[in-house]
Chain A
Amino acid sequence: MAKSKLKGKRVDPKHFSRDQIKFYCILIPAAILMVLPVVYMFNEAFKPLGELYAFPPTLIVKDPTLNNFKNLFELSGTTGVPMTRYLLNSIFITVVTVVLNIYITVACAFVLSKKGQYKVTKWFFSVNQMALMFVQVAVAVPRYIIIVKLGMIDTWAAHIFPLIAMPIGIFLMKQFIDDVPDALLEAAYVDGAGNFTVIRKIIFPMTKPAVATVAILTFQSAWQATEASNNFITSDVMKTIYYYLNALQTNNAVAARGIVAAGTIILFIPNLIMFICMQSRVMSTMSHSGIK
Chain B
Amino acid sequence: MKAMTKRKQRKVNRREDFVTSMLLLLPYLLLFSLFIAIPVLVAIGLSFTYFDVINTPVFTGVSNYISLMTQDEIFLKYIIPNTFKYALIVGPGGCILSFLLAWLVTQIQAVPRTVLTLCLYLPSMVGTLMIQVVWKTIFSGDQRGILNAFLISHGWIEVPVNWLLSPDYLLTVMIIVALWQAMGIGFLAMIAGILNVNEELYEAAYVDGMKNRFQEVLYITIPSMKPQMMFAAVMAIVNAFNTGWIGPALAGTNPTPAYSGNLILNHIEDYAFSRYEMGYAAAVSVVLLLMIAFFSKVAGKLFSEKG
The minimal Cβ–Cβ distance linking B15 to chain A, given in whole angstroms, is 12
Interface size class of A (residues with CB under 8 A): 35 or more
Question: A275 to B121, alpha carbons, bound, how many Å?
Answer: 10
Q: Out of B22, B107, B238, name the residue touching A20 (CB < 8 Å).
A: B107
Assess whether B129 is in contact with A242, with CB atoms less than 8 Å apart. Answer: yes
B92 at the interface (CB under 8 A from A): no
Assess whether A35 is in contact with B133, with CB atoms less than 8 Å apart. Answer: no
B222 at the interface (CB under 8 A from A): no
Assess whether B108 is in contact with A23, with CB atoms less than 8 Å apart. Answer: yes
Question: A28 to B56, alpha carbons, bound, how many Å?
Answer: 58
Q: Are A276 and B118 CB-contacts (below 8 A) given A128-B32, A139-B40? A: yes
Interface residues of B in 225-283 (CB under 8 A from A): 225-228, 230-231, 234-235, 237-238, 241-242, 244-245, 249, 252, 265, 268-269, 272, 278, 281-282
The minimal Cβ–Cβ distance linking A242 to chain B, given in whole angstroms, is 7
Question: A7 to B201, alpha carbons, bound, how many Å?
Answer: 11
Question: A237 to B284, alpha carbons, bound, how many Å?
Answer: 34
Assess whether B226 is in contact with A290, with CB atoms less than 8 Å apart. Answer: yes
B16 at the interface (CB under 8 A from A): yes
Assess whether A34 is in contact with B183, with CB atoms less than 8 Å apart. Answer: yes
Q: Can you name the residue of chain A whose Cβ is closest to the Cβ of B147?
A: A57
Count, A-B residue pairs, CB within 8 A:
311
Question: A220 to B109, alpha carbons, bound, how many Å?
Answer: 28
Assess whether B237 is in contact with A133, with CB atoms less than 8 Å apart. Answer: yes
Interface residues of A in 112-126 (CB under 8 A from B): 112, 115, 118, 120-121, 124
Q: Can you name the residue of chain A whose Cβ is closest to the Cβ of B190?
A: A286
Q: Which residues of A contact B34 (CB under 8 A)?
A: 146, 150, 161, 165
Assess whether A271 is in contact with B28, with CB atoms less than 8 Å apart. Answer: no
The minimal Cβ–Cβ distance linking B254 to chain A, given in whole angstroms, is 11
Q: Can you name the residue of chain A whose Cβ is closest to the Cβ of B20?
A: A195
B38 at the interface (CB under 8 A from A): yes
Assess whether A8 is in contact with B28, with CB atoms less than 8 Å apart. Answer: no
Assess whether A138 is in contact with B20, with CB atoms less than 8 Å apart. Answer: no
Interface residues of A in 82-125 (CB under 8 A from B): 104-105, 107-108, 110-112, 115, 118, 120-121, 124
Q: Can you name the residue of chain B whose Cβ is closest to the Cβ of A130?
A: B293
The minimal Cβ–Cβ distance linking A159 to chain B, given in whole angstroms, is 12
Interface centre among A14, A57, A162 (most CB of B within 10 A): A57
Q: Are A27 and B101 CB-contacts (below 8 A) given A195-B21, A224-B129, A276-B118? A: yes
Assess whether A143 is in contact with B35, with CB atoms less than 8 Å apart. Answer: yes
Assess whether B227 is in contact with A264, with CB atoms less than 8 Å apart. Answer: no
Assess whether A138 is in contact with B265, with CB atoms less than 8 Å apart. Answer: yes
Interface centre among B108, B116, B252, B296 (most CB of A within 10 A): B108
Assess whether B24 is in contact with A107, with CB atoms less than 8 Å apart. Answer: yes
Q: Can you name the residue of chain A whose Cβ is closest to the Cβ of B293?
A: A133
Q: Are A275 and B125 CB-contacts (below 8 A) given A104-B28, A108-B27, A138-B288? A: yes
A81 at the interface (CB under 8 A from B): no
A249 at the interface (CB under 8 A from B): yes
Q: Are A11 and B38 CB-contacts (below 8 A) given A105-B28, A142-B282? A: no
Assess whether B269 is in contact with A37, with CB atoms less than 8 Å apart. Answer: no
Assess whether B191 is in contact with A286, with CB atoms less than 8 Å apart. Answer: yes
Q: Which residues of B contact A38 (CB under 8 A)?
A: 122-123, 126, 130, 134
Assess whether A27 is in contact with B25, with CB atoms less than 8 Å apart. Answer: no
A289 at the interface (CB under 8 A from B): yes
Q: Can you name the residue of chain A whose Cβ is closest to the Cβ of B200?
A: A8
Assess whether A53 is in contact with B144, with CB atoms less than 8 Å apart. Answer: yes
Question: A120 to B24, alpha carbons, bound, how many Å?
Answer: 13
Q: Which residues of A contact B106 (CB under 8 A)?
A: 11-12
Assess whether A107 is in contact with B226, with CB atoms less than 8 Å apart. Answer: no
A279 at the interface (CB under 8 A from B): yes
Q: Can you name the residue of chain A whose Cβ is closest to the Cβ of B305?
A: A292
Assess whether B105 is in contact with A4, with CB atoms less than 8 Å apart. Answer: no
Q: Can you name the residue of chain A whose Cβ is closest to the Cβ of B199?
A: A8
Q: Which residues of B contact A120 (CB under 8 A)?
A: 22, 25
Tell which of B61-69, B77-85, B161-169, B202-210 binds the partner: B202-210
Assess whether A140 is in contact with B202, with CB atoms less than 8 Å apart. Answer: no
Assess whether B35 is in contact with A165, with CB atoms less than 8 Å apart. Answer: yes
| Sample of 26 A–B contacts (CB below 8 Å) | A10-B107, A11-B199, A30-B101, A37-B134, A40-B138, A40-B146, A55-B143, A56-B149, A105-B28, A115-B21, A128-B32, A135-B265, A135-B288, A135-B289, A138-B43, A139-B285, A141-B285, A142-B43, A143-B39, A199-B24, A250-B249, A253-B252, A268-B125, A275-B125, A287-B192, A290-B230
- Top 10 A-B pairs ranked by shortest CB distance? A290-B227, A4-B206, A142-B42, A287-B192, A108-B28, A31-B119, A142-B39, A139-B39, A8-B203, A286-B192
